[in-house]
């Protein structure tokens, strides 16, 4: 890859990688750090990577960096027990976006990531598998289970609207 292609990759893909990581982490600074680290790694391997695969390479690298950070944080901090009232939905919600983000935050990281890649970013099952290091069947299973969990948490859409 040339320097021009590298710069083009920054212009074309940085925002999408940031949105993907930010949706999972809910932290602007950490998402920026992960995107920056991913582009730094890309720069170190610029001679080895072809431009046609750079998008999936960036998403894979950012995804794996994010997972490493999450695992590291889980080892450092003790997770509190979830309270029963946290699992109940307040029937007075009027912000569907808030409900959806609350539901997404309850999913395991892998399910949340593949759902965001599929439904938010529009990747194919094959591309998601390459990014997340999963088989196509594993991607489909994670998306299915995540959607079922979202449906069970949110309930009927008629009750929300």
Six token digits for residue 95: 């912000």
Mean pLDDT value across residues 15-43: 87
Determine if the pTM surpasses 0.85. no
Assess contact for 17 and 35: CB atoms under 8 A. Answer: yes
* pLDDT tens readout for residues 80-90: 444 444 444 44
Assess contact for 58 and 42: CB atoms under 8 A. Answer: yes
Distance (Å, rounded) from C-alpha 77 to C-alpha 69?
A: 12
Domains of the chain are: 1-79 (1.10.1740), 86-161 (1.10.10.10)
Alpha carbon of 145 to those of 48, 58, 138: distances in Å?
A: 37, 26, 10
């Amino acid at each position: 890859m040339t320097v021009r292609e590298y710069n083009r990759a920054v212009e074309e893909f940085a925002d999408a990688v940031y949105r993907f990581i930010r949706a999972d982490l809910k932290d602007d600074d950490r998402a920026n750090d992960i995107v920056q680290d991913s582009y730094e790694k890309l720069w170190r391997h610029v001679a080895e990577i072809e431009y046609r695969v750079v998008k999936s390479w960036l998403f894979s690298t950012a995804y794996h960096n994010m997972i490493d950070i999450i695992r590291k944080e889980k080892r450092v901090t003790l997770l509190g027990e979830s309270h029963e009232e946290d699992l109940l939905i307040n029937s007075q919600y009027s912000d569907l976006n808030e409900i959806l983000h609350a539901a997404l935050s309850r999913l395991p990281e892998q399910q949340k990531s593949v759902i965001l890649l599929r439904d938010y970013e529009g990747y194919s099952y094959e591309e998601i598998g390459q990014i997340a290091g999963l088989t196509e069947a594993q991607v489909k299973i994670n998306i299915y289970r995540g959607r079922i969990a979202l449906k069970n948490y949110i309930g009927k859409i008629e009750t929300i609207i």
